Structure 1
Amino acid sequence: EQAEFRRSTAPSTAVVNRLDEAVDLAARAAAPGTVVLLSPGGTSYDAYRDFEERGEHFRRLVRERNTRSVLSSAEPGAVRIAEEPS
């Protein structure tokens, strides 16, 4: 019973190999106003110099895929995407 409850209330997750795949998947799955959490499951030293470079790549990918977005930094390392006012 508890296991079923956990499965039914757990957030959706996906495993991908590249950051662009993660952003594409999130863009297809997210409804307006939805929060998407990017949580890398391992190091990315083979792909990026450091976490800042990875974060900048993430922001660039989001900008490319969502031209009507406004990206703002709520706190260091955080990215919030909000619809521009019409």
Structure 2
Amino acid sequence: MEEVLFKSETRLDRAAIADHLRAVADKLESGEPVSLSAGSESVTLDVPARPTFEVKAERETGSGAPELSIEFELEWDEGQEGGEESGEFSVE
């Protein structure tokens, strides 16, 4: 079962998206909790030192034009620190 704690979907320019990603990256690097907010919704999460980092590029096809996406996801078991390392990842 999945419980959505926070969701926001907004069309932004690339520079604004980069600012949001940079803010999350700064929190991750410093070990501070990551707080997300939009309107009256908000959530703060303490990301462990070694969460699982999932990156996915997708093409969705259906009735309209194909939709492309890049998804970045951090996963960890609630209350658990650490995680297994599984190969080297890079962005070029």
Fold similarity call, TM over 0.5: no
Q: Which has the higher strand share?
A: 2
Q: Which has the higher helix share?
A: 1
